[in-house]
Structures are given as C-alpha cells and as structure tokens.
Amino acid sequence: MPHVSIKHWPATVTDAQRAELVEEMTRTVTRVFGVPEGSVSIAVEAVEPSRWTQEVHTPEIAGRAHLLWKKPNYAAPIPTEAQ
C-alpha cells in the first residue's frame, strides 16, 4: 500500500524518463501518505489506442468517475490517435 497504475498510449519514453517518473511519483506518494518508499509500487503500462476505450476509459475513467480527482479534457468520441 499504496499502488499507482499509470496507463498511457504508446510513446517514445526512455528508461531514464520512466525512472524519473517513478522516482517523482514515489517521492510524492511517500510524502502524502506518510509511508516508507518500500511500501509503494508503481506500474507503467502502454495501451494501444484501439484498446483504450474498452480497457481504460470505460472501466476506469467513465466507470469510476466518482474517484477521479483529475478528469481528462477530451470529449466523446475518445481520440483515436496520439496527440
């Protein structure tokens, strides 16, 4: 506890950039939740645009909108190309 899951469209992100993202997220999560670094897990997953609506938007964004503290600013239909 806690676990953070970051899902994104495929992008050119280097291992160094992923490491920076994870480091910054870990720093923030440990500070806000008051937990040691070893209790944090972070997943980073690329999701193809053709699967985004079915695997991410419908179940995690629209289906759990009451939990979102930061909502996306795109409107239906869901974008089909990386922006």
For residue 35, being part of any structural domain is answered with yes
- The tens digit of pLDDT for each residue in 48-81 reads 999 999 999 999 999 999 999 999 987 655 656 5
pLDDT band at 10 (very low <50, low <70, confident <90, very high): very high
For residue 19, being part of any structural domain is answered with yes
3-state secondary structure 1-21: CCEEEEEECCCCCCHHHHHHH
Count of domains observed in the chain? 1
Q: Would you please indicate which residues are annotated as catalytic (active-site) residues?
A: 2
Rounded to two decimals, the pTM is 0.83
The CA-based diameter of the chain, rounded to the nearest angstrom, is: 41
For residue 37, being part of any structural domain is answered with yes
CATH number of the domain within which 37 lies: 3.30.429.10
For residue 75, being part of any structural domain is answered with no
CA 13 to mean position of chain CA atoms? 14
Structural domain for 54, as ranges = 3-67
Residue 83 has pLDDT above 60, yes or no: no
- The tens digit of pLDDT for each residue in 12-47 reads 999 999 999 999 999 999 999 999 999 999 999 999
